[in-house]
Structure 1
Amino acid sequence: MHDWPGFFKQVWDNLEPDGWLETSEVQFPCRRADQEDQKPSPFVQWGENVLQGTRKAGIDAAANEKFSDQLRAQGFIQIDRVDVQWPIKPWAKGDKNKYLGKLLYRNTLDAVPAIATGVFTRCLGWSKDQVDTFCKEVIEDVDDKESHFYYPMVLHLAQKPLDA
């Protein structure tokens, strides 16, 4: 997304008064759940590279940090921000988190090479061979049985006032 304020304006213009908007955006890079150690992580580096590459493409992959202010500026009320952790692989406690972890693991296996191929080759000048080699390291890092990664997710809820 190149223009979040423009998107929020478009939502505002098309949302009925008293209607609600919900956003859910991942924060890059992923993080380790239990501060496992500070050893270098190809998966964390992949996320840092995504941030760097998207920034060069004019996309702010950390834009969700500004959503509360942007929603307020647009006129929304009842703005609520919720930070959650979505586990990658079924390591987290609870059936819901284990199920979510399985889904996010499968999604990550597809997303890592897809995002890297597009962003790293177009925006960071990597060759396809460099991307393929790095993605192999990233997936090995994700597959490490000792690693407990999660995606930080930021959810925002906001309401258009009844009198708008």
Structure 2
Amino acid sequence: MAGEPGSSAEVPPSQEPAAKEHNGQSLQPQQSTPIQVDSLVDSDGIDHSDGDSSYGGEYDSDEMTTSSLTSAITNYVYENGRRYHSYRQGAYWGPNDDKAQDNLDIFHHIFTLTLGGRLYLAPIQEDVHRVLDLGTGTGIWAVDFADAHPSAAVVATDLSPIQPSDVPPNLEFQIDDFTLEWTFRKESLDFIHARSIYGCASDYPALYKEALAHLRPGGWYEQAEISVIPRAEDGSLEGTSMEKWGPLAIEAGQKFGKSFGIAEDMSGLMEEAGFINVQRHAFKWPIGPWPKNPKLKQIGAYNRVGWEDGVDGWAMFLFTKFLGWKPEEVQLLTAGIRKELRSKSIHSYQYM
């Protein structure tokens, strides 16, 4: 499943006791310019020559209560042929096996393609000092950011210890749940980044308030999300399995207690939490290489691969646990979606 597709927010300037100038950036559907269809699609649409362009210091160990890599954390859970995290088992809906990790890295590539090779949109300083990446996954964003900002102390957290061991010296991975109370010092961070954390928090307003409290005055919070609702301006999704996908994902999230509609809601929630200068940016991601525009064709080609490889993992835990489906029913739906992904008559997209 791959938000307002992306939002950045700033912290208010210091005024009364601890009032802050915190900024927020959100990546949100504001425009709906139709995408032109390429009627001559005859390949996978991927440009195979294209290259892809997750705190140390003052944080004392007694301030951190995050878990170390123990056997309990690496004793993974296996269900329906997929592997899931064991630390705070069931808190996250997606698998963490090799297939899921490859899928996360595909979407990292799509994000960077979308942003023209950039890792973020927030106007942070090049010499930014303290950075936190929430829900880092494979850690690929944090590694790239730490490489690009060697003077920054970067911490990246996740429930699964699936990150590489060979990383830049200014990057630290921690196994932690960002929905619990944070153990970092208040007003100590310059930039907080989050991406694809839909369905990860039961209380996003509380998460934004926690982020706000830990940013320094003038700091930035940026969140990039993908809407789980496929769309088609020409009506080509009508009656398809893909058309069913969005409502089912939203319903599963509601029963799970963690929203998959955060892409559409996050900017307003950031403002309610106290962020100022909330900026919204929206991009259309085609699902398939059907657009005429070369960049959109490339994004669509990778997005189709992401869907084909990812849709089983996105659905299996949620639909069997919270919608009461049998694994075979999930597989029937996802097989239909994969078939539709290859249809030249369907011109679907989603917002990022």
After TM superposition, the score normalised by the length of structure 2 is: 0.41
**Does the C-alpha gap of structure 1 residues 89 and 37 become closer, same or farther in structure 2, counting only changes over 3 Å?**
closer
1:131 is aligned to 330
Q: Which has the higher helix share?
A: 1
- The answer on 1:56 being equivalent to 2:255 is yes
SS at match of 2:309: helix
Larger RCO, structure (CA 8 Å, separation 6 or more): 1
1:64-143 alignment to 2 at 5 Å?
64-143=263-342
Q: CA RMSD in A?
A: 1.7
- The answer on 1:18 being equivalent to 2:212 is no
How many Å apart are 1:37 and its aligned residue? 4.3
How many Å apart are 1:40 and its aligned residue? 0.5
Contact kept, 8 Å, 1:29 with 1:45, in 2: the verdict is no
**Does the C-alpha gap of structure 1 residues 47 and 69 become closer, same or farther in structure 2, counting only changes over 3 Å?**
closer
- The answer on 1:39 being equivalent to 2:39 is no
Which ranges in structure 1 are unaligned for 5 or more consecutive residues? 154-164
1:159 is aligned to none
How many Å apart are 1:83 and its aligned residue? 2.8
Identity %: 28
Deviation by residue 1:40-70 (Cα, 9 ceiling, x = unmatched): 0101202221111111111121133332332
Deviation by residue 1:57-86 (Cα, 9 ceiling, x = unmatched): 111211333323321222211112233211
**Does the C-alpha gap of structure 1 residues 43 and 35 become closer, same or farther in structure 2, counting only changes over 3 Å?**
same
For 1:25, the aligned partner's letter is: E
1:2 is aligned to 202
CA distance in 2, matches of 1:129, 1:93: 37
Deviation by residue 1:107-153 (Cα, 9 ceiling, x = unmatched): 11122111111111111111111111111111111211111111122
CA distance in 2, matches of 1:48, 1:97: 25
For 1:20, the aligned partner's letter is: W
Larger Rg over CA atoms: 2
CA distance in 1, matches of 2:235, 2:266: 30
Contact kept, 8 Å, 2:236 with 2:346, in 1: the verdict is no
Aligned residues: 152
CA distance in 1, matches of 2:264, 2:288: 26
Contact kept, 8 Å, 2:286 with 2:296, in 1: the verdict is yes
1:142-153 alignment to 2 at 5 Å?
142-153=341-352
For 1:90, the aligned partner's letter is: P
SS at match of 2:254: helix
